[in-house]
Structure 1
Amino acid sequence: MEELVYPDGADFWFVRYGGIARWRPAKGVEVTGFFSRYDYFDEETTPVIFTSGAFLPRRIARNRFYGQHWADWAGHPQNFGAMAKVDRGPWQIGLGLFSSRFTIDQFGANLFARTDAHGRTERQVLLGRDQVSQSYSGELLVEREFTEGPRCHHLLASARFRRVDDDLGGFAFRSLGPGAIDVADSVPEPDVAFGALTRDEIRQETGALGYEMQWQGLREINFGLQKTRYRKKVRAPGLAPSANADSPILWNASAVLTAMDGIVLYAATTRGLEESGTAPSFAANANLSLPALRTRQVEAGVRWTLTKDVKLIAGLFDVRRPYFELDADNVFRVLGDVKHRGRRFRSPPSPCQALT
């Protein structure tokens, strides 16, 4: 167990523990399990000061905490899971099951509002409890690899799932009256009634097929195809539940070719699906579950080997995703695309290293 002290005098205690176990019951069979957890408690957070105008508040002494000591944090992040691998000649089978959990059992934030140039302020606290984010996921992967003269072929099939349950919100806000920003003036902890929590649920299953081929001297090609089923539901207090679903076909492809001795060309494209959250509280469709984002990425480049130890890599990329913002009716929705274009330096992928 350790205690940490921040420069503003806030402190907290934490304990961290975990472990890994590995078992090989037979040749080519390996099972690995892991667990890790981090418990924190009595964590005081840095007070946040809001001034009443465009000026800085007066200087504050270091190493002195001036918030309310009972407005602190406690909770834990935790991860555990297991993986099994079976290697039978050209066949490889992998299975993984995972769980991740993050809790805030107690939440407290010290706020100082309408602070003037002399440090006079209104003391406030924001309190919460029982915030939980829990996810479960798993994957079954089957691979088959074989060689054909100078060519290495790699086939794979996978099935994945994930389940995410978030319980958030329910905060309570209290004013503690006037005070000064650098004066530790403790008051009794008020009795508060916390609000109901917002429930956010995500369910997703994905099946995928992939093929890679590496050709000695010609480099490689790669294709992947995914079918995913995605559902999201949000239940906020006092509002009707909102939900959305999507079931796209996603794909990726890449190629790495040797143009001439010392010069390698590469290109890749990907279609993806990203989480998008909910509409903000100030929108006309506040807390509405937003649709998942379909994203696109294209990149291409060249790697030039100048000497044994010197390589020049240049690449171009184009990444696009939907853009959410408020429209003229104050509805938070997709209004266009966000585009990222540019150049960068990176090494192209090379899965069959034995033939390069």
Structure 2
Amino acid sequence: MSIFYRTTRSCWLLCASVLTLCLPAPALAEGVAAASKGQPEEEPGDELPITSEPTADEEEATQTVAENAIAQSNDAFGRQVGSERTGLYSTSEVRGFNPVDAGNVRLEALYYDQVNTLSPRLASSSTIRVGIATLGYAFPAPTGLVDYGLRKASFGRSLTVDVSRRERGHEGFGYDLRLAGIAPGVGLFSGGYYRASQSEDSSRAHRANIGFVLSYDPKAETEVLAFASVGGTRDNEAKPTIFVAGDALPPEIERFRFLGQDWADNATDTLDGGLIVRTPLGEGLRLESGAFFSGKRDLSRFSDLMTGVTADGTIGERAIVASPRSFDRSFSGELRLVQEFSLLGRAQQVSASLRGRDRLRSFGGSQRISLGAGSLFIHDQRAEPTFAFRDTNRDKVRQLFAGLAWSGALTRFLRFDLGASAIDYTKTVDYAAAETPDVATGAKPIAWNGSLALALTKRLTLFGALARGMEEADVAPDRAVNRAEAPSAINTRQEELVVRYDPDDAVTLLLGAFRISKPYYNLDTALRYRLLGTVVNEGLEFSAIARPVEGMTLLGGAVLSDPSLSGEAVNQGLIGTRPVGQPKVRMTGNFDWRLDQGSSPLSFDFTLDHKGSRPVNALGTLLVGAETTLDLGMRYRFTLGDADMVLRVRGENVLNTYGWNVSSSGALTYISARTVQFQLYAEF
């Protein structure tokens, strides 16, 4: 039995004992005596909220000329505002797993099957919901949620334009247009951008996106949102990825030097849209619903693989994987009825939800072309070959969730969340090759969650949660012989305990322990992507946020984890006991200070990020070293005529640390060198 299980069991027993001692009959009687139907109870400051409502900072996020992710954060677990993010986690990594690939995405708190990353022009923010941040949030997921918010034309009319420039040819511009009151109760937000980007390996791409959010508020507490965005990427040069030959890392090659093939350009078109309706239906009853579409079409797709790379920079074989045109689209949505009522004088909320998705994608038909041996120190251009693609396969998933969730208060000090969803999952794969039999799978599991939050004192809260769910597995990487194949959905589970301490109104501390387990898919010795065993990630995470003076925000976070593998492949010595690419230590610190108690036009910020060593190969015999990066930034606010202006300067990796990114399949790319970015915002 693991240390985590022993600790968790002891803590749950302690919670039960504390409840027995701290919640006697008089406490319940006090709750019954409290007025019902939403009447405030005494000493509301001692109570825990039933729902995780947006803070004032979150609501303000779309009304600033230049958003500030640090100042608008509520913890160190992860938040993105505009193009900047803070915290330990991101939309692509939470506690060692990818919540987007797992299907754990919400848009305006409603179920959304994301194919494309939502345009930062339409998304006001993205918040990582783990631990106590899921309190009052219906139907959480075992590996965490990514919750997007949409921008809206809340009030007034304004036009914001921005231009940006980075070293080595990265430049772009964008706009935000807000038109409130274009008709009674109607507002329009529109945003778009164009970027001519250059990555750390000097590969180039041209990206553009334009979209809108139309809001309609015909009466109190009723909101209708319609949104759409269309985007595209052209001339996106394929980045070479490095796979080592043995137990030695590649040499530190020159950064910002393109080693790819000029003709291996990727091109993609994207389309996203949806409709959200929220309205009251009766006393305490409301409807929350959303219907969404997300889709993309790959017009051309290449992967540049450098395999068998040795310590002297020799490339054993260089290969290009070229894929034919393909598509990936999803219809998804949720219909939710929420009933609020009072029970024993305490506020309660019951949600009945029907969620679903219909996803169809094509894959396969690719061609692998060997370019022979090479060197990391030579830009070895080859003539563009002639491609002979095969027919593509089709992968279709239909999934329905019918769920009930109950969030409420048992006493003034105790809140709870309960939820369960019956899932009907079907997956069919139609292979183009006649000799390959089609595959049809299905499952009907029950996903459930339960949590308790106990206010031990006005400043100290204890939170515990259990969750069981069903999530998507990652798609096979390009190096796999069955590249782009997607396994059937997998069952996941999580247990966690969190202690929250607020020593005063300006400081919040969170300390949590978690354990997550799920099936482990990766490459075997034959480079086939398949089930290899079980991955368990257990650890401790810490978050601290402080606002000691007006205009100053400090964030700090750390996660100490012990990801481990078990199963047949481990027992046979095919893989090691640690998953590829996952560190045991991750720490981050953010600081933002607007001078003169928040009234100065000048502010400074920095981000310090540390990542521990990570395994590179399946056996775990080769690791990349730990790395620490430092980013520095400033904002200067001023007026020019009728325009409010903000100049943003940001230096990334100012210490010029050299390090390696490691994917879950063992692919290496180096981190970006020191760069400086200039952005100028103007709001009219």
* Alpha-carbon distance between aligned partners in 1 of 2:197 and 2:270, rounded to the nearest angstrom: 18
Structure 2 match to 1:314? 511
Query: 1:143, CA displacement in angstroms?
Result: 0.6
Say yes or no: does 1:196 pair with 2:391: yes
Structure 2 match to 1:214? 409
Shifted more, 51-60 versus 237-246: the winner is 51-60
Cα 1:282/1:23, change in 2 over 3 Å: closer
**Which letter maps to 2:446?**
I
Structure 1 match to 2:427? 232
Structure 1 match to 2:591? none
Give the greater-gyration-radius structure (CA).
1
Cα 1:68/1:216, change in 2 over 3 Å: same
Structure 2 match to 1:340? 537
* Alpha-carbon distance between aligned partners in 2 of 1:49 and 1:267, rounded to the nearest angstrom: 42
Say yes or no: does 1:94 pair with 2:291: no
Query: 1:263, CA displacement in angstroms?
Result: 3.5
Q: For 1:168-209, what per-residue CA distance to the aligned partner results, in whole angstroms no more than 9, with x for missing partners?
A: 12112335678876356563x433210121222111001111
Structure 2 match to 1:14? 207
* Alpha-carbon distance between aligned partners in 1 of 2:511 and 2:523, rounded to the nearest angstrom: 38
Cα 1:218/1:243, change in 2 over 3 Å: same
Given candidates 375, 379, 400, the residue that maps to 1:205 is 400
* Alpha-carbon distance between aligned partners in 2 of 1:335 and 1:322, rounded to the nearest angstrom: 8
Say yes or no: does 1:127 pair with 2:334: no
Q: For 1:71-97, what per-residue CA distance to the aligned partner results, in whole angstroms no more than 9, with x for missing partners?
A: 211112331111011124411101101
Query: 1:241, CA displacement in angstroms?
Result: 1.0
Cα 1:303/1:112, change in 2 over 3 Å: closer
Report 1:1-356 matches (<5 A): 1-6=194-199, 8-48=201-241, 65=258, 67-88=260-281, 89-110=283-304, 124-148=319-343, 150-175=345-370, 182-183=378-379, 185=381, 187=383, 189-215=384-410, 217-238=412-433, 239-260=436-457, 262-276=459-473, 290-323=487-520, 337-345=534-542
Cα 1:57/1:311, change in 2 over 3 Å: closer
Give the SS at the match of 1:25: coil
Query: 1:249, CA displacement in angstroms?
Result: 1.8
Q: For 1:214-269, what per-residue CA distance to the aligned partner results, in whole angstroms no more than 9, with x for missing partners?
A: 25522312211211101112233431011211101221111112335544332211
Structure 2 residue ranges without an equivalent (≥5): 1-193, 545-684
Structure 2 match to 1:351? none
* Alpha-carbon distance between aligned partners in 2 of 1:204 and 1:291, rounded to the nearest angstrom: 12
Cα 1:67/1:345, change in 2 over 3 Å: closer
Query: 1:307, CA displacement in angstroms?
Result: 4.0
**Which letter maps to 1:319?**
I
Cα 1:263/1:176, change in 2 over 3 Å: closer
Query: 1:37, CA displacement in angstroms?
Result: 2.5
Give the SS at the match of 2:273: strand
**Which letter maps to 2:362?**
D
* Alpha-carbon distance between aligned partners in 2 of 1:285 and 1:71, rounded to the nearest angstrom: 21
* Alpha-carbon distance between aligned partners in 2 of 1:157 and 1:97, rounded to the nearest angstrom: 17
**Which letter maps to 1:162?**
R
* Alpha-carbon distance between aligned partners in 2 of 1:114 and 1:10, rounded to the nearest angstrom: 22
Work out whether residues 363 and 484 of structure 2, in 8 Å CA contact, stay in contact via their aligned partners in 1. Answer: no
* Alpha-carbon distance between aligned partners in 2 of 1:44 and 1:281, rounded to the nearest angstrom: 16
* Alpha-carbon distance between aligned partners in 2 of 1:120 and 1:315, rounded to the nearest angstrom: 44
Percent of counterpart pairs with the same letter?
29
Shifted more, 276-285 versus 78-87: the winner is 276-285
Work out whether residues 303 and 478 of structure 2, in 8 Å CA contact, stay in contact via their aligned partners in 1. Answer: no
**Which letter maps to 2:225?**
T
| Structure in which a larger fraction of residues adopt helix | 2
Q: For 1:153-174, what per-residue CA distance to the aligned partner results, in whole angstroms no more than 9, with x for missing partners?
A: 1111010111111211211233
Answer 1 or 2: higher relative contact order, Cα 8 Å, separation at least 6: 2
Cα 1:305/1:201, change in 2 over 3 Å: same
Work out whether residues 22 and 30 of structure 1, in 8 Å CA contact, stay in contact via their aligned partners in 2. Answer: yes
Structure 1 residue ranges without an equivalent (≥5): 348-356
Give the SS at the match of 2:232: strand
* Alpha-carbon distance between aligned partners in 2 of 1:344 and 1:66, rounded to the nearest angstrom: 39
| Structure in which a larger fraction of residues adopt strand | 1
Q: For 1:109-158, what per-residue CA distance to the aligned partner results, in whole angstroms no more than 9, with x for missing partners?
A: 45567789697997753322212221110110101112356400111101
Cα 1:250/1:199, change in 2 over 3 Å: same
Cα 1:56/1:333, change in 2 over 3 Å: closer
Give the SS at the match of 1:138: strand
Cα 1:114/1:215, change in 2 over 3 Å: closer
* Alpha-carbon distance between aligned partners in 2 of 1:145 and 1:279, rounded to the nearest angstrom: 44
Query: 1:19, CA displacement in angstroms?
Result: 1.1
Query: 1:324, CA displacement in angstroms?
Result: 5.2
Work out whether residues 426 and 442 of structure 2, in 8 Å CA contact, stay in contact via their aligned partners in 1. Answer: yes
Normalised to the residue count of structure 1, the TM-score between the two structures is 0.79
Q: How many residues are paired up?
A: 345
* Alpha-carbon distance between aligned partners in 1 of 2:538 and 2:244, rounded to the nearest angstrom: 39
Q: Considering only aligned residues, what root-mean-square deviation do their CA atoms show, in Å?
A: 4.1
* Alpha-carbon distance between aligned partners in 2 of 1:279 and 1:178, rounded to the nearest angstrom: 25
* Alpha-carbon distance between aligned partners in 2 of 1:102 and 1:36, rounded to the nearest angstrom: 12
**Which letter maps to 1:106?**
S
Work out whether residues 335 and 354 of structure 2, in 8 Å CA contact, stay in contact via their aligned partners in 1. Answer: yes
